[in-house]
Amino acid sequence: MPNTPQTLISKYWQILVWIVSAIFVAGGLFAEFQYLQSEIEVIEQRLVKKIELLNSLDRRVEKLEHHIEYEKGYKDGQKDK
């Protein structure tokens, strides 16, 4: 019986090593891509929070500018009387 599993393994051991190595490398690459994807999501969440904060601060500055202009106009109106 020349085609027993033992003789097939000893005959094609280099191919088996390549297959096992390829599977190992593919798993490592998959894990690395998953890690990078989670990092991107975290950075995106932080960026969204910063954008929301900037938008709220911009609205506050705009309200203050409107209030300052109102006060300026009110004072100018009082001086004319």
What pLDDT is recorded for position 78? 84
User: Tell me, what DSSP letter sits at residue 1?
Assistant: -
Each residue's pLDDT, cut to its tens digit, for the chain (81 residues) gives 456 667 777 788 888 899 999 999 999 999 999 999 999 999 999 999 999 999 999 999 999 999 999 999 888 888 876
Q: Where are the alpha helices (DSSP H) in the chain?
A: 5-11, 13-80
pTM assigned to the model: 0.60
The answer to whether 44 and 51 have CB atoms below 8 angstroms apart is no
Cα 19 from Cα 24, distance rounded (Å): 9
Residues of the domain holding 22: 5-80
First to last CA, the chain: 118
**Interacting residues of 16 by C-beta distance below 8 A, sequence separation 6+:** 9
